[in-house]
Structure 1
Amino acid sequence: AGDAIINVPEMIAIAEQRSRAHADELTQAAHALARRFQMDIESRRWFGTLNHAPSYLAKRARTFDHTFLIAAEGSLGQLEIAEAVVLGCGGPMWVLPGGEARGHLERVAIAWDGSRAAARALRDALPILRAGTHVIILSATDDKPMDDLQLPEVQQLLEEHDLETSTILFCRGNRPIGVALQEAAIEAGAGLLVMGAYGHNRLREFALGGATRSVLSAPRLPVLMSH
């Protein structure tokens, strides 16, 4: 049998060309969605190795108002990058579903469970909420005691910002909470889901909670997350 000859420089050049073309597509998609949300955004490109991407992007995101990540099915390292950015950027991160899913601000859903992370996400989203017409407070009835949710106080806070609100209670059942939240938001006609990003200590590292990881892995509508 003959020896196979592999042209490594050519393979690298082809991979880089595909990466740059993919970057063009993602940039165009992000700007198109920003126009629908009536937002002005700035985009920058970085080319480097995949293992350095999570820490680099988390650090760079700290000096931007918002960070956008587009969830592409089968994208290598996507969850690791999203985890590093949402836990390390210190601000709001948008997770945009791939494909034809479209967002809007007419009705925005807020995932509320009374936690610090949920409160942070709500505050970070206030400028966005003012651009819409109706805010839906989503809470699971079988996740935490109802008295801990402070639903009347949340509604009062939003109304003090001149926002029209309603509250929807749903039963999580046997569904993962991330799946249940997205289904409730979509059923309510929301074009954006706002939620806190939860983490926990694991061997001195911070890892995502189940709800956050579920939404990051398979977003069905645009999601604004804050940790």
Structure 2
Amino acid sequence: MASPHPTSAPPVIVLDGVTFAYTADGPDIIDIPAWSVAAGEHAFVSGASGSGKSTLLNLVTGTLVPNTGTITLAGQPFSSAPARQRDHLRATHIGVVFQQFNLIGYLTVQQNIAAAAYFAKNKRPDLNQRIAELVDALQLPDSVLQARAETLSVGQQQRVAIARALVNQPEVLVVDEPTSALDANARDRFMNLLIDNARESAVLFVSHDTSLKHHFESHIDMASLNQAKGKV
């Protein structure tokens, strides 16, 4: 099942005949005949616990490879690439906002964001300006740039995580259950900031909270996307 594309933009992620099981004799956790996400599309992926959302994310980001089928990223073979090449493609083309943010507490905000550029081998001369612009766009004061990440509030850490994910201007932004610890007001502020700052990226937003789906152009239900009968 192909996802609906809001424009005629080409797909940036393509899954073709993808299956995955964690053990050789275990049930398939993922069985997706066909699915794609267009460049610039903002897609909301929902499903109950155990529906395969986390496994799908790991396949899309290349930390898992399918047992059968192929995944293409930005027009390049991804799932079939050697591990080192997958790492480079991920760092270059995908930004990830993790549920637990995964910031390095003893590093400054500037260093945390710059780390993503380092792993992508992004040597743009205006990197510091890019970081400062992202921090400003995400409504953080300039003073946080030299603050250690561990000294920030949860809401500030979350916005730093968005800046880190966007610093390389990725074609794909993957967002994993980022609002589970937020109250309603903080959740709405986060969603507005995320959408406003990720307009040029394809966004794959995964959550069990279907109240968020109105922020997105397409809604993918794991129960209909995934033909597998197994559970994660």
Which structure's relative contact order is higher, taking Cα pairs within 8 Å and 6+ residues apart?
2
TM-score (ref. length: structure 2):
0.32
Greater helix share, structure number: 1
TM, length-normalised to structure 1: 0.32
Quick check: which has more Rg, 1 or 2? 1
